[in-house]
Amino acid sequence: MSDAPSFGFDTLQIHAGSRPDPATGARQTPIYQTTAYVFRDAEHAAALFNLQEVGYIYSRLTNPTVAVLQERVATLEGGAGAVCCSSGHAAQIMALFPLMGPGKNVVVSTRLYGGTVTQFSQTIKRFGWSAKFVDFDDTDAVAAAIDDDTRAVFCESIANPGGYITDLKAIAKVADAAGLPLIVDNTSATPYLCRPIEHGATLVVHSLTKYLTGNGTVTGGVVVDSGTFDWAASGKFPSLSEPEPAYHGLKFAETFGPLAFTFHGIAIGLRDLGMTLNPQAAHYTLMGIETLSLRMERHVQNAVEVAGWLEGHDAVAGVTYAGLPSSPYHGRVKTICPKGAGGLFTVKLKGGYEACVKFVDSLEIFSHVANLGDTRSLVIHSASTTHRQLTPEQQEAAGAAPDVVRISIGIEDAKDLIADLDQALAKASA
Ligand SMILES: *Cc1c(COP(=O)(O)O)cnc(C)c1O
């Protein structure tokens, strides 16, 4: 089918990017479990290697199963193109890699996935890059943090784990005024609940590991490019605007226009960093995406019901879920994620750290795991696990204080989830 934008989300999540297999007519996208592809002749091979012709060379760069997934996610996000990679964290490096260089910085929100805080505050320093952490509710502070060496602005749409929603339009305006790309991690929201490009994002990154696959079988990531940023305008992005020596002086921005970032991601990023998604993983994610809207609707419906119930419980000091009227971010749901605030929130227990540990250990349906966005309900005590490497101030800012438990609500029966939480809270406060 042609992926006309007039098709609805439910149609596109099943059909975008996929066609019956030209060789066999297979209706489901085959898993092209192959490393290499036979060239028609030496001339064809040379044209592929020079990027004069688009085609398959070697699966570190491109693979037909992965290509279907790239087109599907790009379509659902309203982007021009996408590059899949081996994890959500790989996607973050892949997004920054063409933009950054030694001495350059990225201005980032304090409210991020714990692993992202560590990646940005520690690991990227080894590349000579740095991150400036700012409260993204304070747009003046975001603007003030941007300097001549800033190359991007980065935040999450719905931030993990605190139930925080970023005012993407306001942040996009700040990035725009500075001539910088805004990168949005849309993992917790998914394109069903939030489409950051419509709010002004340049790039969208995802951990495919979470809701997009949806059942805890895959580690993967993707970078979606809006195709709208002018990489040549400021001279700040030479990797995209200047001649590339490894491709005979080709300029990505000039040659590929709105697909410059995507082609660079494949031809340089995947080729040289090697953070490739395997076709088997792409297959599982394609299966998952077919039911994305149905799952997200149920995640949201259950989260509203369970969070509302928890908020009224005696042992509970507070629930941070933007889907509840009590949340300071409730007002942003309407504009940023009108179909709901997702399935992720934290609950603060009056009994503090001890009660949190007992609560997590007493749950039966909920699994205690370092994951989220599964059909199964999951729980984790962030302060002793995912956010363990953070300072107390960073934990607090990220919504992962020691008296807080993160809950990822699955798509089971809400009444069973509530019964399980009830018995565990009774044990935790005994
Ligand atoms: C899980 C997650 C990541 C990292 O993804 P991996 O696939 O585990 O590397 C990044 N951002 C958010 C919001 C996440 O939830």
pLDDT along the chain (430 residues), means of 10: 73 96 95 96 92 92 97 98 98 98 97 92 97 97 98 95 91 98 98 98 98 96 98 97 93 96 96 97 98 98 98 96 96 96 96 94 96 96 82 81 95 98 96
Residue 5: its pLDDT value, please?
A: 56
Could you tell me which of 5, 94, 24, 96 has the C-alpha nearest to residue 64?
Answer: 24
Tokens of 328: 């300071």
Quote the ligand 1 centre to 1 CA distance (angstroms).
32
Ligand 1 atom 2: residue of nearest CA: 207
Quote the ligand 1 centre to 33 CA distance (angstroms).
26
Q: Ligand 1 pocket, 156 CB below 6 A?
A: yes
Give percent helix, percent strand, percent coil of the chain, each to the nearest 5.
40, 15, 45
| Helix spans in 97-134 (H) | 114-121
Residues 6-18 pLDDT 10s: 899 999 999 999 9
CA atoms lying within 13 Å on the CB side of residue 204: 34
Q: Ligand 1 pocket, 209 CB below 6 A?
A: yes
User: Is residue 142 within 8 Å of residue 134, measured between CB atoms?
Assistant: yes
* Strand pairing class (316-320; 105-109): unpaired
Residues 207-264 pLDDT 10s: 999 999 999 999 999 999 999 999 999 999 999 999 999 898 999 999 999 999 999 9
Residue 387: its pLDDT value, please?
A: 78
Residue 298: its pLDDT value, please?
A: 98
User: Is residue 59 within 8 Å of residue 34, measured between CB atoms?
Assistant: yes
The residue count of the chain comes to: 430
Which strand (E) or helix (H) includes residue 331?
helix 330-336
Omega before residue 161 within 30° of 0, cis: yes
User: Is residue 57 within 8 Å of residue 113, measured between CB atoms?
Assistant: no
- For 18, 119, 159, 198, the CA distances from 266, given in Å and listed in that order, are 20, 22, 28, 25
Q: Cα–Cα distance between 117 and 419 in angstroms, integer?
A: 34
* DSSP label at residue 375: S
Q: Cα–Cα distance between 72 and 67 in angstroms, integer?
A: 9
In the chain, what are the domains? 8-99+181-288 (3.40.640.10), 292-428 (3.90.1150.10)
User: Is residue 286 within 8 Å of residue 72, measured between CB atoms?
Assistant: yes
Q: Ligand 1 pocket, 162 CB below 6 A?
A: no
3-state secondary structure at position 264: helix
Q: At a CB cut-off of 8 Å and minimum separation 6, what does 391 contact?
A: none
Q: Ligand 1 pocket, 89 CB below 6 A?
A: yes
pTM of the model: 0.96
Q: Cα–Cα distance between 404 and 162 in angstroms, integer?
A: 10
Q: Cα–Cα distance between 201 and 128 in angstroms, integer?
A: 25
Q: Which atom of ligand 1 is nearest to the CA of 90?
A: 9
User: Is residue 35 within 8 Å of residue 252, measured between CB atoms?
Assistant: no
Quote the ligand 1 centre to 281 CA distance (angstroms).
16
In Å, the largest CA–CA distance within the chain is: 75
